[in-house]
């Protein structure tokens, strides 16, 4: 599901990166959302479920933090090194020395490498002649929100640990209430005709997935319910974008998680290959921008067909040589951290 979502983002980005805008993306005119927006919602829903599961199984903040850090940052740093000091230096319209001497290069690297205060998108002289000018990796804009969701989840868990016997139950109730409050807030914005807040949207999607995990023993993945929801979504499209927006908020998490868990057989063979979705997500945009720079006037279809195999190639390398190795260090780093903390706590 995550790989499908990552490729959907690639397809969606082909419209603005080839044409300079996304107005002609078919799904946007039909449901009011681009394919990429739907795919990112899917990412946050699945992330909410899996990250909450990770927290429950580890029951330790140090283990949880190292798992999240090693999942995101090593591959991100390698991608940034390649794009900033490799691709950027090769493709910039400035002399290489001037490019490398620019403070903007290092500010871009530092901000994108931390994600805490958002991301930057422009490198000096890079992609300034493209239809979608200057943006080096627009996909990174969602990642600071992802990191913030991890932080909110962990801080909430730590706060509720201070409670007594019923702390886990109270934490679970708080997760479900958080998702419900976010849903009400989203509906209020929708009916007031105001644009959704990015933070609120991602908060709702993430904690919807989280709520599904804490309610996992009470929620039944039913083909009948899925069918009703799917028909409801299809019918709402016929009514209009406003109706679709409401139905989508109520049904998206169930529909995506049913599709993730219900199918079996040959579809699941893919999971034995590795998790290339993160690599696809972080490499696709610079690959597509490079294609736009090298092939002026490239069509949406051509960009998609050219970018997909190149991006998957880099994603496979990222998984095999960076991500998989980094994830294997989780237990070791967490153990070292606990040991260091124990040493510092000892009296002199």
Q: What average pLDDT does the chain have?
A: 92
Q: Is pLDDT of 303 > 90? A: yes
pLDDT score of 344 = 66
Q: Is pLDDT of 273 > 90? A: no
Q: Is pLDDT of 174 > 70? A: yes
Question: 285 CB contacts (<8 Å, ≥6 apart)?
Answer: 13, 17, 135, 136, 137, 138, 139, 140
Q: Which pLDDT band holds residue 346 (cuts at 50, 70, 90)?
A: low
Q: How far apart are CA 211 and CA 45, in angstroms?
A: 10
Q: Which of 139-148, 257-266, 286-295, 334-343 has the lowest mean pLDDT?
A: 257-266
Q: Which of 81-85, 88-92, 339-343 has the lowest mean pLDDT?
A: 339-343
Query: Helix axis angle, 2-19 relative to 35-58, nearest 10°?
Result: 150
**Residue bearing tokens 């016997």:** 165
Q: How far apart are CA 314 and CA 320, in angstroms?
A: 10
Q: How far apart are CA 215 and CA 217, in angstroms?
A: 6
pLDDT score of 165 = 60
Q: Report, as an integer, the average pLDDT of 318-334.
A: 95
How far, rounded to the nearest angstrom, does the alpha carbon of residue 126 sit from its chain's CA centroid?
Answer: 25
Q: How far apart are CA 251 and CA 244, in angstroms?
A: 10
Q: How far apart are CA 200 and CA 143, in angstroms?
A: 15
């Amino acid at each position: 599901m995550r790989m499908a979502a990552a490729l959907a983002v690639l397809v969606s980005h082909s419209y603005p990166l080839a044409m300079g805008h996304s107005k002609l993306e078919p799904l946007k005119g039909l449901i009011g959302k681009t394919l990429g927006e739907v795919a990112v919602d899917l990412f946050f829903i699945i992330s909410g479920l899996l990250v909450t599961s990770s927290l429950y199984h580890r029951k330790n903040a140090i283990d949880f933090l190292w798992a999240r850090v090693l999942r995101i940052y090593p591959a991100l740093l390698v991608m940034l090194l390649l794009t900033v000091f490799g691709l950027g230096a090769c493709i910039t319209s400035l002399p290489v020395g001037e490019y490398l001497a620019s403070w903007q290069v290092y500010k871009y690297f530092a901000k994108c490498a931390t994600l805490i205060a958002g991301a930057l998108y422009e490198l000096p002289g890079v992609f300034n002649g493209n239809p979608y000018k200057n943006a080096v990796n627009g996909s990174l804009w969602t990642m600071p929100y992802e990191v913030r969701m991890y932080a909110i989840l962990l801080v909430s868990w730590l706060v509720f640990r201070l409670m007594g016997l019923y702390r886990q139950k109270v934490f679970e109730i708080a997760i479900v209430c958080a998702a419900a409050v976010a849903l009400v807030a989203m509906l209020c914005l929708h009916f007031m005709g105001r644009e959704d807040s990015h933070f609120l949207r991602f908060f709702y999607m993430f904690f919807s997935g989280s709520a599904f995990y804490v309610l996992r023993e009470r929620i039944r993945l039913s083909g009948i319910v899925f069918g009703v929801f799917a028909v409801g979504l299809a019918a709402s499209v016929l009514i209009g974008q406003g109706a679709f927006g409401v139905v989508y908020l109520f049904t998206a998490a169930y529909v995506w998680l049913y599709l993730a868990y219900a199918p079996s057989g040959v579809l699941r063979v893919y999971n034995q290959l590795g998790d290339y979705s993160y690599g696809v997500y972080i490499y696709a945009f610079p690959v597509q921008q490079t294609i736009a720079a090298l092939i002026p006037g490239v069509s949406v279809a051509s960009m998609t067909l050219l970018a997909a195999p190149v991006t998957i190639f880099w994603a496979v390398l990222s998984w095999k040589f960076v991500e998989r190795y980094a994830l294997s260090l989780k237990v070791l780093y967490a153990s070292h951290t606990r040991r260091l903390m124990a040493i510092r706590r000892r009296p002199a």
